[in-house]
Amino acid sequence: MKPSNRIASITNGGFDGWEIFYKARQMISSGTDVTELSIGEHDIGTDPAILKSMNEAALNGHTGYALVPGIEELRSLVANKTEKKTGIRTTLENVIITPGGQSALFAAHMAVLDQGDTAAYIDPFYATYPTTIRSVGAIERKIITSAENYFQPTFEQLDSATKKTKSLLINSPNNPTGMVYNEATIKSICDVAKKNDLWIISDEVYDTQIWAGKHISPREIENMTERTLVVGSLSKSHAMTGSRLGWLLGPKEVIDKAIDLATNMTYGVPGFIQHAGIFALEQGKKFEEKISWPFNRRRKLALDILNDFPNLEHIPPQGAMYVMLNIRTTGMSGTSFAHKLLDAEKIAVMPGESFGEAASGHVRISLTLADKKFEETFRRICKFASNLSVL
């Protein structure tokens, strides 16, 4: 007996982007001391106050089935936060609570795509984007950007790639590049969506991590509210990665159908976790800044260190929790370099090839160590790359 073609085609039987991560974890399991700068995992745990609220909610009985769409108070908080940020009328009927942002991403594509539809996404991309599209039975189409244009897609690229597609997935601030799509890029995305009748699926899980520029959601652009789905999460904004608490936000008729999907797949999110999410959101912007600003400090540390290595090209990240380092002067691919770095220095970073063609010859370095340790480790990475340089 064989698995279905749909599930067998998720990774196309090949590289899924996580090879270095798994290799590093195997080394750690065998007793090797490895410094991980591969995944976007905060170096601090979830705040004790959030954990206390989660524990109290569980002790107070919120351990049974919760409402599948999510607790109304949490949905309302997400809606109000979104309305305040965008100026677009938003109610709890526009929100479904999901087990993390990845679940919301899957639900969004399930909600707007039929079997065999084509779905576009922008390269570089988060590793699960193409596999999510394949998971729902759709056909993927990449829009390859360039470092020369700061990884911002142009109108011409977007237009030519989406004439026969149903949806376009975007991510700003972008993982892995740290780029924040500027006003011109967002306008191009929205103009193309209207011209080619696209759904825009906007992954905004890093919207509290903005170091330069301004985050603009397509949903706030004129005539875009009814064709935009927004993926959100508390994983990055509140260091709640393991709590698996996210949401999908969009037109009521789509959210209603996403609730039908959740009823038959996840059956909601545990109530005690949702109550912790309520507590977290009630802490406001200052709490979000407390979680996010260490990454900006480390970004500045990284940029200062890179001044000492002029042969290592990079684009200063404007948001998120990563630095993309161009290591093409080594003559190696990002994958080969990451393996060599892990073997020689016991430092794990993600190869650019994990994130698409545009990121090849790069590595993504997470800003997820305490400042002093990060500074020391990042300098070691730069020195290692510089010593391998063939130019």
Any idea what the CATH number is for the domain that residue 367 is in? 3.90.1150.10
Say whether both 171 and 249 belong to one domain: yes
Say whether both 125 and 201 belong to one domain: yes
Say whether both 277 and 374 belong to one domain: no
Residue type, 364: R
Candidates 236, 292, 332; CA nearest to 39 is 236
Other Cβ atoms closer than 10 A to 89: 10
Say whether both 13 and 85 belong to one domain: no
Say whether both 279 and 248 belong to one domain: yes
Say whether both 122 and 36 belong to one domain: no
DSSP assigned state of 203 = E
pLDDT band at 15 (very low <50, low <70, confident <90, very high): low
Contacts of residue 152, defined as CB under 8 A and 6 or more positions apart, other chains included, come to: 145, 179, 181, 182, 184, 185
Cα–Cα distances (Å) from 263 to 91, 107, 142, 251, 267, in that order, read: 21, 12, 31, 19, 5
Taking only Cα atoms into account, the Rg of the chain, rounded to an integer number of angstroms, comes to 21
Which tens digits make up the pLDDT trace of 126-150? 999 999 999 999 999 999 999 999 9
Question: What percent of the chain has pLDDT above 90?
Answer: 93
Which tens digits make up the pLDDT trace of 343-382? 999 999 999 999 999 999 999 999 999 999 999 999 999 9
Which tens digits make up the pLDDT trace of 216-247? 999 999 999 999 999 999 999 999 999 999 99
Residue 383 in this model has a pLDDT that exceeds 70: yes
Say whether both 246 and 108 belong to one domain: yes
229, 255, 283: which is the final residue of a domain? Answer: 283
232, 252, 283: which is the final residue of a domain? Answer: 283
Task: Report the CATH number at residue 263.
Answer: 3.40.640.10
Say whether both 327 and 204 belong to one domain: no
**Which structural domain, as residue segments, surrounds residue 78?**
48-283
Average pLDDT score, the chain: 96
Say whether both 347 and 302 belong to one domain: yes
Say whether both 317 and 347 belong to one domain: yes
Say whether both 71 and 172 belong to one domain: yes
- The three-point CA angle 275-251-235 to 5° equals 35
pLDDT band at 12 (very low <50, low <70, confident <90, very high): confident
* Prediction pTM value: 0.95
260, 283, 306: which is the final residue of a domain? Answer: 283
Q: Quick one: tokens of 310?
A: 């002029």
217 close to 225: Cβ distance less than 8 angstroms: no
Position 169 scores a pLDDT of 98
Which tens digits make up the pLDDT trace of 66-77? 999 999 999 999
The label of the residue with tokens 């679940």 reads: 103
Which tens digits make up the pLDDT trace of 89-103? 999 999 999 999 999
**What is the rounded (10 degree) CA torsion for 70, 79, 261, 272?**
-20
- What are the residues facing 363 on neighbouring strands? 325, 351
Give the count of domains, the chain.
2
Say whether both 252 and 182 belong to one domain: yes
